[in-house]
Amino acid sequence: MTQISAPNSDPKKRRRQDRWFIIAMMAPYLALLGFFGIAPVVYAIGLSFMDTIDWVFWGFTNYEFVLNDFRLIEAIQNVFTYVAIWLTMMVVGIAGLSLMLDALPDRTASVLRTSFFLPGAITSSAIVILWLFLLDPAVSPYGALFEALGWENRRQVVSHFGYPVVFALMAYLAYSGGWIVVIGGALKGISKEVVEAAHVDGANQFQIATRVKLPMVWRSLALMAILSFANGIQMFVEPQLMSLAGSTYSRPDWSVNQLAFQYAFNLGDFGASAAMSTMLLGVAIFISLCVVFGTRFYKMD
Amino acid sequence: MAAAQKTPPLNARLGWFIVWLCLGLAFVFYATPILWLLLAAFRDEPTLFSSGPFSLGRFEMLAQTWHNLTTYNDFQIGRWALNSAIYTIGGVSLSLVAVLPAGFILATYDFALRKTILVLTLVAMITPNTVVALPIFLQMQAFGLNNSYLGMIIATAFFPFGVYLAYIYYATSLPNGLIDAARIDGASRFEVFSKVALPLSKPLIALVAFFSFLANWSNYFLAFVLLTKDELYSLPIGLAVLVSSSGALGNDVASDIPINKPEAIVAAILVIAPVLLLFLASQKYVRAGTLSGAEKG
């Protein structure tokens, strides 16, 4: 770390000036961090221990209440199944495709990388709408494939895939391309001498990819997995918008996030909603920190 | 590489065949949806069903679809697009104002709360939206900022991932000697930031702006919670409302709203077009700048 210091000045005065400069420069971010990062989390944790109708403290009652909601276990299973499928696809797909692209001539790799990158532009509600078309054999570019499998309409396609796989496909198409570009950039940063040395030692392309390059981008893959995990467990848009295809597709309580939303905004039970959110936060922080320290990817200094 | 030498080498031809097969299948997987979507915009409802998935439609069909879309509710979708532009430009600008100085300070000054702020930034990055959505809704209500442009802009300006990127960038890419030399030459603390660090931050600014733009333009959940007036909807929310109210994608009941499958397709393209253009323009920045610092640990 660079330590900025002005020469020939009174250390006390310099430290005071440093302090004011740090405060002034950090102020906009700290205000936002306080208002949208820290305060809401503290508020949510506080709310989770309150009866939000009479505004009295009632301990773990909200937690007991939501844990007894049979939909919660099902929602947790749904979300974790989806996240497990999606993360597996992300790690295998991104690592595999990035390493393959890195072995190609630059121009070919660049064209392919761009084609992988562009679907990332399709996000939020647009991706659900696109996939509702893609899953409908009557209009889908995959229609012939579905018909060959004997799946005649969208309902059959969705039920054969299952919601977790459908959502994992949506998320993979949207998010993997950007990470392929990012990991591609990291792979390009690997010193040519290292790769050359491995080559001289007799390693083939596969060995160079898996034993030299992969370990060197492992931290970026770990970061991707952490951010994807945190993103995945809070899924809301995809199951919520499946109802656009009609009431038979509607799953308003498929994910934990949807349940929390229902409690807060449909039932007005802010305490129960906050309890559910707080549990979700606990899981997110616990698993993320396990990965962070397990891979030591985030060294502070 | 002693262990590697003992491993029998793979058949190179078979290896390359597998590589090209995987890349070919991946290309089909990634390119098909966008290609289909763009071609489908030129077709009307009957031809979507009757002709092949990649058949070419006619420009008149797109013109009719566009007419239906723009005349519906007095060009309401145009209003939503304008709203999205306001939220995004405001959110990206404000996030840059907050992110760049914070990242610079965290990377170049040692102070008491530095580690705490870095850890809180990391925790904020992984905090599920649902945890903060309800409290933010209540906080914004208390300040009268729900259903307002300002409320949406400041809520989306909080971008901890940008601070992480800026911190990594300044910690690894700013030459130490340059900063010291500027101070010795008499530059003030702020001048070191504004005249030395900022001019070297173009890749960082592009990177933060890119991710912030993407997060803001595609933001659904926060907008869904904070915006209840339809004249303030963003484009992603408006698209969902449009398709939902018209039943364009369902086979349940036909509505009398002139929004059908082609209109849903064109509206979806309207949502993704700015991001698509940005993606085409910015790939090299994302490639060059992102996370190079993370590798250095």
| Complex ipTM | 0.83
Please report, to the nearest 10 degrees, the dihedral formed by the alpha carbons of residues B24, A214, A120, B124 taken in order. 160
Q: Evaluate whether residue B29 is within a structural domain.
A: no
Candidates B163, B218, B286; nearest CB to A29? B163
CATH top class, domain A61-295: mainly alpha
Predicted pLDDT at A198 = 87
Task: Clarify whether residues B98 and B44 are in a common domain.
Answer: no
B154 to chain A: which residues are within 8 Å by CB? 32, 35-36
* pLDDT tens track for A73-82: 999 999 999 9
Whether residue A34 has pLDDT greater than 80: yes
Predicted pLDDT at A299 = 53
Top pLDDT among A120 and B233 is at: B233
Average pLDDT rounded to a whole number, residues B245-252: 74
Task: Clarify whether residues B51 and B96 are in a common domain.
Answer: no
Q: Evaluate whether residue B31 is within a structural domain.
A: no
Q: Evaluate whether residue B198 is within a structural domain.
A: yes
Q: Do A204 and B289 touch (CB under 8 A)?
A: no
Q: Evaluate whether residue B188 is within a structural domain.
A: yes
Task: Clarify whether residues B189 and B264 are in a common domain.
Answer: yes
Whether residue B30 has pLDDT greater than 90: yes
Nearest Cα neighbor of A156 from A170, A139, A136, A171 is: A136
Query: How many domains does chain B fold into?
Result: 2
Whether residue B290 has pLDDT greater than 60: no
Percent of chain B at pLDDT exceeding 70: 89
In this structure, what are the phi and psi dihedrals at residue A74, rounded to the nearest 5 degrees? -65, -40
CATH number at residue B259: 1.10.3720.10
Task: Clarify whether residues B194 and B52 are in a common domain.
Answer: no
**Structure confidence at residue B289 as a pLDDT band (50, 70, 90):** low
Q: Do B268 and A130 touch (CB under 8 A)?
A: yes
Whether residue A2 has pLDDT greater than 70: no
Task: Clarify whether residues B59 and B115 are in a common domain.
Answer: no
Whether residue B58 has pLDDT greater than 60: yes
> Rounded to an integer, what distance in angstroms lies between the CA atom of residue A297 and that of residue A186?
14
Query: Is the CB of residue B143 less than 8 Å from the CB of residue A36?
Result: no
Candidates A29, A130, A188; nearest CB to B99? A29
**Structure confidence at residue A63 as a pLDDT band (50, 70, 90):** very high
Domain that holds residue B115: 76-296
Domain range summary for chain A, segments of one domain joined by +: 11-39, 61-295
Whether residue A33 has pLDDT greater than 80: yes
Whether residue A184 has pLDDT greater than 70: yes
**Structure confidence at residue B1 as a pLDDT band (50, 70, 90):** very low
Whether residue A206 has pLDDT greater than 90: no
Average pLDDT rounded to a whole number, residues A278-297: 72
Q: Do B138 and A227 touch (CB under 8 A)?
A: no
Task: Clarify whether residues B45 and B181 are in a common domain.
Answer: no
* pLDDT tens track for A273-283: 889 888 888 88
CB atoms closer than 10 angstroms to residue B238: 25
Whether residue A301 has pLDDT greater than 60: no
Which residue in chain B has the smallest CA separation from A223?
Answer: B294
Predicted pLDDT at B171 = 85
Q: Do A141 and B33 touch (CB under 8 A)?
A: yes
Q: Evaluate whether residue B208 is within a structural domain.
A: yes
CA distance B258 to chain A (A): 16
Predicted pLDDT at B75 = 85
Nearest Cα neighbor of B170 from B201, B126, B191 is: B201
Task: Clarify whether residues B210 and B160 are in a common domain.
Answer: yes
Query: Is the CB of residue A61 less than 8 Å from the CB of residue A51?
Result: yes
B265 to chain A: which residues are within 8 Å by CB? 129, 133
Q: Do B139 and A40 touch (CB under 8 A)?
A: yes
CA distance A209 to chain B (A): 12
Size of interface A-B (CB pairs under 8 A): 355
Which residue in chain A has the smallest CA separation from B174?
Answer: A2
Q: Do A246 and B249 touch (CB under 8 A)?
A: yes
Predicted pLDDT at B4 = 46
Top pLDDT among B210 and A29 is at: A29
Whether residue A248 has pLDDT greater than 60: yes
Task: Clarify whether residues B212 and B233 are in a common domain.
Answer: yes
* pLDDT tens track for B178-209: 888 888 888 888 888 988 889 988 888 988 89
**Structure confidence at residue B3 as a pLDDT band (50, 70, 90):** very low
CA distance B41 to chain A (A): 12
Q: Do A234 and B184 touch (CB under 8 A)?
A: no
- Provide the mean pLDDT of chain B: 84
Average pLDDT rounded to a whole number, residues B9-23: 83
Candidates A4, A139, A246; nearest CB to B192? A4
Q: Evaluate whether residue B25 is within a structural domain.
A: no
Residue A51, classed as helix, strand or coil, is strand
A26 to chain B: which residues are within 8 Å by CB? 101-102, 105, 117
Task: Clarify whether residues B218 and B138 are in a common domain.
Answer: yes
Whether residue B252 has pLDDT greater than 80: no
Candidates A101, A182, A211; nearest CB to B291? A182
Q: Evaluate whether residue B126 is within a structural domain.
A: yes
Q: Do B264 and A129 touch (CB under 8 A)?
A: yes
Task: Clarify whether residues B47 and B170 are in a common domain.
Answer: no
Predicted pLDDT at B253 = 54
| Reported pTM | 0.83
Whether residue B291 has pLDDT greater than 50: no
Whether residue B294 has pLDDT greater than 70: no
B110 to chain A: which residues are within 8 Å by CB? 1, 3
Q: Do A140 and B225 touch (CB under 8 A)?
A: no
Which residue in chain B has the smallest CA separation from A298?
Answer: B297
Q: Do A125 and B239 touch (CB under 8 A)?
A: yes
> What does the radius of gyration of chain B's CA atoms come to, in whole angstroms?
25
Task: Clarify whether residues B93 and B151 are in a common domain.
Answer: yes
Query: Is the CB of residue B42 less than 8 Å from the CB of residue B59?
Result: yes
* pLDDT tens track for A90-132: 999 999 999 999 888 888 998 898 899 888 888 888 999 999 9
